[in-house]
Chain A
Amino acid sequence: DTAVSQTPKYLVTQMGNDKSIKCEQNLGHDTMYWYKQDSKKFLKIMFSYNNKELIINETVPNRFSPKSPDKAHLNLHINSLELGDSAVYFCASSQKGVSEQFFGPGTRLTVL
């Protein structure tokens, strides 16, 4: 009965690889987000989708491509991984027009 789930929880990979992180929410929300928490603990928004439509796209390299097959899922694909991509990535969801966001448990990505 997890509200916002992410897979995998840990991801260790080599530089240059391509990887994906999946997110699903069962709260019936229509807005989903990806956040990145770096080594300095900054939690910064990367993308948000509302009903499968991209709403927010912060200054993120285009190696990062979000995909929303339906409003309950928002996946993050990362091409040509770099050392600086190592971080914890959080998915979140909310109802449109409501600021309270519900977060997933995070995916710790380590690029070697």
Chain B
Amino acid sequence: DQQVKQNSPSLSVQEGRISILNCDYTNSMFDYFLWYKKYPAEGPTFLISISSIKDKNEDGRFTVFLNKSAKHLSLHIVPSQPGDSAVYFCAAGPYNTDKLIFGTGTRLQVFP
């Protein structure tokens, strides 16, 4: 029973364009959401988060949007750079939780 779903296993985007990665969740108790980035042979690294009291959080080129009614969040990267090529995991849980539920990841490839 996947409570956090990333339905696109991969995404290919040209350098300079926008990358949009999507994530859906089913558990209405989730109120904190995070995006992690993972390079091969490394552990996931925290990228950006959002709590359910907001619908948008921005950090430089990265913006996360949350649509609570649709139980959907997305990560926008603009402009995309080749160094952004990695696997992106969405994670969710109740606020101040020790237990995060991760999606299966979306592999982003940014080509020149």
List, in ascending order, chain B residues with CB within 8 A of A43's CB: 44, 89, 102, 105
Q: Which residues of A contact B (CB under 8 A)?
A: 4, 31, 33, 40-45, 48, 50, 55-56, 90, 92, 94, 96-106
Of the candidates A45, A102, A105, which one forms a contact with B100 in the assembled complex, judged by CB atoms under 8 Å apart? A45
Supply 22 A–B pairs (Cβ within 8 Å), ascending by A: A42-B102, A42-B104, A43-B44, A43-B105, A44-B102, A48-B98, A50-B98, A55-B98, A56-B99, A90-B43, A92-B43, A94-B98, A97-B96, A99-B34, A99-B93, A99-B95, A99-B100, A100-B46, A102-B45, A103-B36, A103-B44, A104-B43
Beyond A104-B43, A106-B42, list 6 extra A-B contacts (CB 8 Å). Answer: A31-B98, A41-B105, A43-B89, A55-B98, A99-B32, A103-B36
Q: Which residues of B contact A (CB under 8 A)?
A: 32, 34, 36, 41-46, 49, 87, 89, 93, 95-100, 102, 104-105
List, in ascending order, chain B residues with CB within 8 A of A104's CB: 43
Closest 9 CB pairs of A and B: A103-B43, A43-B102, A97-B96, A103-B44, A48-B98, A105-B43, A99-B32, A41-B104, A100-B46
A interface secondary structure, majority: strand
List, in ascending order, chain A residues with CB within 8 A of B32's CB: 99
CA distance A100 to B112 in the complex (A): 32
Q: Chain A residue with minimal CB distance to B49?
A: A100
A3 to chain B, nearest CB (A): 10
List, in ascending order, chain B residues with CB within 8 A of A94's CB: 98
CA distance A94 to B98 in the complex (A): 8
Which of B36, B102, B105 neighbours the largest number of chain A CB atoms within 10 Å of its CB?
Answer: B102
